[in-house]
Amino acid sequence: MIRARTLILGSAAALIAASGTHAADLPVKAKAVEYVRVCSLYGAGFFYIPGTDTCIKLGGYLRVDTTFNGGAHGAPGWSGDLGQDNRYRDYFVSRSRMALTIDTRTATEYGVVRTFGQGDFQFNNFGSSNPSVLTSGSNPLHVPGGGYVAVEYLFIQFAGFTFGKSASAYATPWQGFPGNINSSLLGGQNTDTGINNIQYTAQFGNGVSGTIGLDDPTVWERTAVYNLSIPGAIGANGTGSNAYAGTHAPDIVGNIRVDQAWGLFQLSAAAHEVSGSYNTLGAGAVPNALSEISGHPESKWGGAVMAALQIKNIPTGAGDDIKIDASFAKGATKYVISTSSSSPNFAMFGDSGFGYQSVGFGATTDGVYFPGAAGTGGIALTTAWGVRGAFNHNWNPYWSTSLFGSYSSVRYDGGANDNLLGAGTSTAKGAYCAAFAASHPGQTGVAGVGTYSCNPDFNVSQLGVVTRWTPVKNLTFSAEVQWFHLDQKMSGSSVFTATAPKPNALYEFKDQDTVLLQVRAQRNF
């Protein structure tokens, strides 16, 4: 009886335990999956990062460019092998790029906090097989499987402030692209891939705003300063070695802007410090043991101003507009002779009626100096001005055309041949021409022989047209033709040793022209 009772109780306990085990194995209700939600606060393409109140947008484009008789991205053949028209030049050059952008925005009690970044995965054929260029390390991508990631905009915006790599407060919304696709339309400033800066924008209502900023000028807003007393100060191509000192002060920039239904009007201004390194330098502006004790020229402040206008709703068609900007600079030539890269110097060769060939030079500087009692008395600032613009017309939803152009001028103070008999170096022209004569014999009034008149001033003109076809949304094919003209101010001829592979020969100083074709396929996403 006792054994039967024990067996029954044990069986009951086992059943209870088994029941508990089965109960523990029952599935627990899972948490609901948090699906991605569309964020409609900031326009199409934004969605909420799961678990946050931050909206994010991923985008970019894939672009393929090919330029015939020019450099990558539509640069005219204004220097180097292309400018010389020698056997090392490539008849065409291509670039493939995929740009990726990340845009995040969060609403706060101080307004929207925004971050933005863009990286470009890119491969170039840099367009030169010249051994002297390749060995200098300037063509690292000219190899199979080459390429690199370029960084464009990287910035934070908060409560009206912008911190990081963004467009300068001086720039227009269209930068250097009023209607063109090439990145070499001169005549005004261009910071289209961003410059390190801090800026603040105030909104005054009715479309009126004002922005003030501090730009790091080292990469985007400097050209060169020449010390014209150093050995070989001016070389075969009419250019010198850069004797800029280190960066001592940011560029102070700002604008007042009016945005209305009819278009846009903007006034911009910039202050830019120009500083030289030392009075005594070796060839190539390289410092030596005498540099520091020789002293240096006093720094000077230059600057630039710009007026820009966009007119919309013009009677030629829906979406048509006109964009134009005009600039003046003193000691800040990059605000006029500007591309998406460095400011160009010009060395172009062509046909001649009596010499081996003709040549046109143009040196782009912020200033020059010639130390000494008979010198320039410090840095002589270079003057530049320019105007550029475009008319943009839509034929229909699939076809559009832009007609664009620019005119720029660079001036050095003083008169032509100020250095008669080699005695006058007190003006920028006099100092430049004295250095130029050392590598280009036969200057008027120098050593009693006269075959050419020296004047480093120059003008550049550009005119072009681009037509675009958009067969489907966000896919565009473009073809652009551009003419470039160098109006140089030298006259006569000189026997000198040009940059190899050019020979020592008689060269006629003459204006130069070049034409290029750029084609592009681009898919935005």
Domain ranges of the chain: 67-94+168-524
**What is the CATH number that goes with domain 67-94+168-524?**
2.40.160
Rounded CA-CA distance 97/65 in Å is: 9
**Mean pLDDT score, 189-202:** 96
pLDDT tens column, 39-64: 999 999 999 999 999 999 999 999 99
**Low-confidence winner among 35-39, 238-242, 481-485 (lowest mean pLDDT):** 35-39
**Mean pLDDT score, 172-193:** 97
pLDDT class of 16 with cuts at 50, 70, 90: very low
**Mean pLDDT score, 144-157:** 88
Whether residue 246 is predicted with pLDDT greater than 90 in this model: the reply is yes
Nearest to 502 by CA among 364, 350, 363, 354: 350
**Low-confidence winner among 138-142, 309-313, 378-382, 488-492 (lowest mean pLDDT):** 138-142
pLDDT tens column, 268-304: 999 999 999 999 999 999 999 999 999 999 999 999 9
Strands (E) across 351-445 are located at 357-362, 367-369, 380-381, 383-394, 399-411
**Distance linking the first and last C-alpha atoms of the chain:** 85
**Low-confidence winner among 33-47, 199-213, 218-232, 469-483 (lowest mean pLDDT):** 33-47
Whether residue 5 is predicted with pLDDT greater than 50 in this model: the reply is no
pLDDT class of 21 with cuts at 50, 70, 90: very low
pTM: 0.90
Query: Mean pLDDT, the chain, as a whole number?
Result: 90
pLDDT class of 25 with cuts at 50, 70, 90: low
Main-chain phi, psi angles of 321, to 5 degrees: -155, 170
- Residue 157 — left, alpha, or beta (φ > 0 → left; ψ -120 to 50 → alpha)? beta
pLDDT class of 15 with cuts at 50, 70, 90: very low
Show the CA angle centred on residue 306, arms to residues 195 and 168, nearest 5°: 15
Whether residue 6 is predicted with pLDDT greater than 50 in this model: the reply is no
